[in-house]
Amino acid sequence: MKRTTFPRLEARIAGLLYIAIIILGGWAEVGVRQGLVVIGDPAATARAIMAHESLFRLGFTAEMITNLIAIPVSLILYRLLAPTGRFLALIAVVFDLTQNTINAMNAWTQFAPITLLGGSPDLAAIPHAQLAAMARLALKWHDVGFSVALGFFGVALLIEGWLMIRSGYFPRWLGALYALAGGCYLANNFIFFLAPHLPVDPWIMLPSLIGEGAVSLWLLIVGVDEAKWRQAAVAG
């Protein structure tokens, strides 16, 4: 272990970035996408998007920022949890980066409505009603891609929560909340694809918000017990 390793500082950096992800991602989803979509009316949705085009573009930008800053968060969590179980921590970071990759590749579906509804001469031959329907379909595809990504993220959180419980340098209750968050993401994933009409949304996501919020705040405010972390790192 190198003396230049500063786990508490790294934890606080991860916590700050994690909070930014929660805020930006939540705003992009709830404040932008859900705020502009009119269920069952593609034409009204299209009008709302184009009437608030700048807001819609900001929402897309916020989502891309979350994808970018999620990468260092994943790597820092790997460094913090590796002393407890390097192989499990590696598996977790692979699942985490996989969900981030899926979300990044899925981002085009959020930007597609701007392309379809922006009045491009290349699309002039397509009736506006059809373009509006295609734009709404793109947003539905976004929901599908996001749900697929959440499945991978849920596995990552389950593993990382378990490692926190075992670590000795994170509180056991914090790891339990994080694992619960992962379990809820997985449950939401299966319900989305297998039983979409079950009335569990958004309540099933509440434990995930609590778990991620608790971990991000703990990382930012408290960090990690450096003495116990270094002891575990030397033993590993």
What pLDDT score does 4 carry? 56
What pLDDT score does 20 carry? 98
Question: Residue 189, Cα to own-chain centre: how many angstroms?
Answer: 13
Sequence-ordered list of residues with C-beta below 8 angstroms from that of 33, at least 6 positions apart, any chain: 59, 110, 139, 142
Angle, in degrees to the nearest 10, between helices 172-194 and 128-167: 150
Helix (H, G, I), strand (E, B), or coil: what is residue 125? Answer: coil
Q: How many Cβ atoms from other residues are within 10 Å of residue 160's Cβ? A: 30
What pLDDT score does 181 carry? 97
Q: Which two tokens stand for residue 197?
A: 């009409």
- The long-range contacts involving 179-182, CB below 8 angstroms and separated by at least 24 positions, are 179/211, 180/207, 180/208, 180/211, 181/157, 181/207, 181/208, 181/209, 181/210, 181/211, 181/212, 182/153, 182/154, 182/155, 182/156, 182/157, 182/158, 182/208, 182/211
Which value, in Å, is the radius of gyration of the alpha carbons in the chain?
A: 20
Angle, in degrees to the nearest 10, between helices 86-106 and 53-81: 170
Q: Which two tokens stand for residue 53?
A: 């085009």
C-alpha 91/C-alpha 213 separation (Å) is 23
Q: Which two tokens stand for residue 64?
A: 């891309």
Q: What is the pLDDT along the chain (236 residues), one digit of tens a residue?
A: 445 578 999 999 999 999 999 999 999 999 998 899 999 999 999 999 999 999 999 999 999 999 999 999 999 999 999 999 999 999 999 999 999 999 999 999 999 999 999 988 989 899 999 999 999 999 999 999 999 999 999 999 999 999 999 999 999 999 999 999 999 999 999 998 998 888 877 788 899 999 999 999 999 999 999 989 999 988 86
What pLDDT score does 1 carry? 41
- The long-range contacts involving 47-56, CB below 8 angstroms and separated by at least 24 positions, are 49/113, 49/114, 49/117, 49/135, 50/117, 50/118, 53/114, 56/32, 56/113, 56/114
Helix ranges (H only) for the chain are 7-26, 34-36, 42-51, 53-81, 86-106, 108-117, 128-167, 172-194, 206-221, 226-235
C-alpha 70/C-alpha 21 separation (Å) is 7
Q: Which two tokens stand for residue 97?
A: 């980066």
DSSP state of 224: -
